Structure 1
Amino acid sequence: MNQHTAQGMEDAPDAESAILEFARTEPTLGQAAVAERLRARGIRISPSGVRYIWQRHDLETAVKRLQALADRVPEALTPEQQRLLERGQLSARLASGVVADESEAGNSAGGAAEGDTPSRHALILHVAAERFAAQGYDRTSIRDIARSVGLLPGSVYHHFPAKEDLYLAIHREGFQRVMERVRQAAAEGSDPWDSLRRACEVHVSAMVEGSPVDRITGHSLAMIGDHELYDKITDNRRAYELVFRDIIGGLPLAPDVDRTLLRLTLLGAMNWVAVWYREGKRSPQQIADMMVNMMRGGVEG
């Protein structure tokens, strides 16, 4: 601690308890705001002095202060504070590489700009998908997304020139993620039917339980009303459908079964789950297994 900060602490023996009280009651206040409020109370301390106290108690970021509050009294967080905490936790996980799918978003969704961290690129995708899912495409602005991420709108435009580019990047990323997981699941199957079952479990689970990026992509598989958007993601959809074409191509079927129609029927049924699914009765995995079993009973040779 520098001399100025130390002097401030000497003049305010109760500063530490006051700072910790602000951490509990107003955890999103910055160090300058806390120092200013303390000065209004007659407690002299600099912003760096506030930060020094926070660091001593491992509270130097708003996310840490929110987490400490949530650990003590979970219901004390407002909805906005809860969202801020969740975004902060996600950002930390992205930066540390814990969430592999998210941290690789810059590679499969157009790439982060040179000199920028992939985690920021991925975080924008994640939060934008949240906002599009909650408010709809037309009612969501770049300003809304930037505010939710904690950036200026210009920083979002640095990664995505327009809202449509961001929306399409979410779809490309969603298709890439689920396609990789479907391929991996199918490769682990013990036989062709087991490979199909595993692939379908991944597909349905991603649509109803996955990240916001996964769910936006899944909903658009079933409910694309914008033909211009459909045209722009056709290549992604086709590449994904080819994965199921290859899996179904390996099934032992009766000679008169149309494999193309079988594939389209199965994908159509699974895609519609995003529309009618309600949590509680059957799990996504159970739904996928039942679909495959019903289909197998009708077409197995």
Structure 2
Amino acid sequence: MATQQATPTATMQDSEAAILELARSEPELGQAAVARRLQEQGYRISPSGVRYIWQKHDLETTVKRLNALAADSTEGMEALTDSQRELLERNSVTARLLHPGGNGEKSTDEPLERSELIINAAAELFSTAGYDRTSIRDIASRVGLLPGSIYHHFPSKEELYIAVHREGFRRVLKRAKAAGEGISDPWERLRRACEVHVHGMTEGSPVDRITGTNLALIGNDDIQARIQPFRDEYEEVFRELIDALPMRPDVDRKLFRLTLLGSMNWVYLWFRPGQRTPAQIASAMLDMIRDGVAPVAPQAGTQGRGPGITHEGPL
């Protein structure tokens, strides 16, 4: 629909109506482009004036204008063109990546740096599609960038994959160390670290989830070798926690650690929300292992297999 030419006596109400009409007919236009278009038609309006009207009607972003256009139509999203729907989807994903929430990493609404934005998008695609089936073009499309912009920050897909894991292990390492601060009981310290691990695997960001997946699945020994130092640093936290536990002298603490971490790393395959919480899963896993290794004081007439578990008479 063509915008009506302004009359010499055009009022602010006329300008507002013209701005809103363009918001419906050409929602992709930015404030400067809208101002120029209306100035050519005789309206006295500046880019900041356009933005003021947009904000007044909650239309200051392309996403909001496209959503409003769909909401005002009986056809809903079908009222948008293919390119508009693609733009809306891309920008909606970018908005989620800018403010991922729930991962404990950002306490403000400050946007992420572009490299962090790329890492988050790459982690999401690596988690869902896998390393081999994810391309740099896919990642660039997810964040609304050209592939060349990705290469400006990361020279190859392999380097980006390494960066995703470096960031993932950095985050979970920080949380695991903080989880046990101020707790004297060694079993409780380990339990808190396990809860952090399982929570990241099941309800964390894509960067958190990919950290615990089996690296061998990508079938690339070179990449696995480069990621291994990050994993070793993280496993050192659990090694120290497990070394502090009271256990029978014959317990293989390394096997204990590998069994525990291996069990937790596969939770993401079978976890379903609405059943056990991540904390409950972590505690149950630890208890099942603990019951077999914790020292038990002999008691007359009983056989114990763990703290609080005794069996009267023959098994």
Q: Does TM, scored on the shorter chain, surpass 0.5?
A: yes
What does residue range 238-257 of structure 1 map to in structure 2 within 5 Å? 238-257=232-251
Residue 87 of structure 1 deviates from its aligned partner by 2.0
**TM-score, length basis structure 2:** 0.73
1:101 counterpart residue number: 105
**Aligned-partner SS, 2:291:** helix
Using the TM superposition, name which of 22-31 and 259-268 deviates more.
22-31
- Structure 2 regions of 5+ residues with no counterpart? 1-5, 78-84, 296-315
Query: Against the structure 1 CA distance between its residues 25 and 242, is the aligned structure 2 distance closer, same or farther, given a 3 Å change threshold?
Result: farther
Query: Against the structure 1 CA distance between its residues 188 and 206, is the aligned structure 2 distance closer, same or farther, given a 3 Å change threshold?
Result: farther
Using the TM superposition, name which of 136-145 and 79-88 deviates more.
79-88
In 2, the alpha carbon distance for the partners of 1:170 and 1:221 equals: 13
1:85 counterpart residue number: 92
In 1, the alpha carbon distance for the partners of 2:241 and 2:127 equals: 31
In 1, the alpha carbon distance for the partners of 2:293 and 2:22 equals: 66
Residue 285 of structure 1 deviates from its aligned partner by 1.3
In 2, the alpha carbon distance for the partners of 1:246 and 1:181 equals: 15
- Structure 1 regions of 5+ residues with no counterpart? 1-5, 104-116
1:45-100: CA deviations, max 9, x gaps? Answer: 57836445325545333255468789999x96668625523422543x48xx9987
1:214 counterpart residue number: 208
2:306 counterpart residue number: none
1:111 counterpart residue number: none
Query: Against the structure 1 CA distance between its residues 102 and 294, is the aligned structure 2 distance closer, same or farther, given a 3 Å change threshold?
Result: same
Q: Which has the higher helix share?
A: 1
Q: 1:163 aligns with which of 129, 154, 157?
A: 157
Residue 254 of structure 1 deviates from its aligned partner by 1.1
> Over aligned residue pairs, what C-alpha RMSD do you find?
4.0
Tell me the number of residue pairs that the alignment of Structure 1 and Structure 2 aligns. Answer: 279
Query: Against the structure 1 CA distance between its residues 237 and 99, is the aligned structure 2 distance closer, same or farther, given a 3 Å change threshold?
Result: closer
**TM-score, length basis structure 1:** 0.76
Q: Say whether the 8 Å CA contact 2:19–2:50 is kept in structure 1.
A: yes
**Aligned-partner SS, 1:253:** coil
Query: Against the structure 1 CA distance between its residues 182 and 99, is the aligned structure 2 distance closer, same or farther, given a 3 Å change threshold?
Result: closer
What does residue range 140-289 of structure 1 map to in structure 2 within 5 Å? 140-220=134-214, 223-289=217-283
Q: Say whether the 8 Å CA contact 1:12–1:43 is kept in structure 2.
A: no
In 2, the alpha carbon distance for the partners of 1:139 and 1:245 equals: 35
Query: Against the structure 1 CA distance between its residues 152 and 19, is the aligned structure 2 distance closer, same or farther, given a 3 Å change threshold?
Result: same
Query: Against the structure 1 CA distance between its residues 55 and 256, is the aligned structure 2 distance closer, same or farther, given a 3 Å change threshold?
Result: same
1:112-149: CA deviations, max 9, x gaps? Answer: xxxxx962121111111122223322232222222221
Larger radius of gyration: 2
In 1, the alpha carbon distance for the partners of 2:293 and 2:142 equals: 49
**Aligned-partner SS, 1:121:** helix
Q: Say whether the 8 Å CA contact 1:222–1:274 is kept in structure 2.
A: no
Using the TM superposition, name which of 59-68 and 183-192 deviates more.
59-68
1:114 counterpart residue number: none
2:131 counterpart residue number: 137
1:230-275: CA deviations, max 9, x gaps? Answer: 1111111111111100000111111111111100111111111122
Identity %: 56
Q: Say whether the 8 Å CA contact 2:93–2:143 is kept in structure 1.
A: no
Query: Against the structure 1 CA distance between its residues 8 and 192, is the aligned structure 2 distance closer, same or farther, given a 3 Å change threshold?
Result: farther
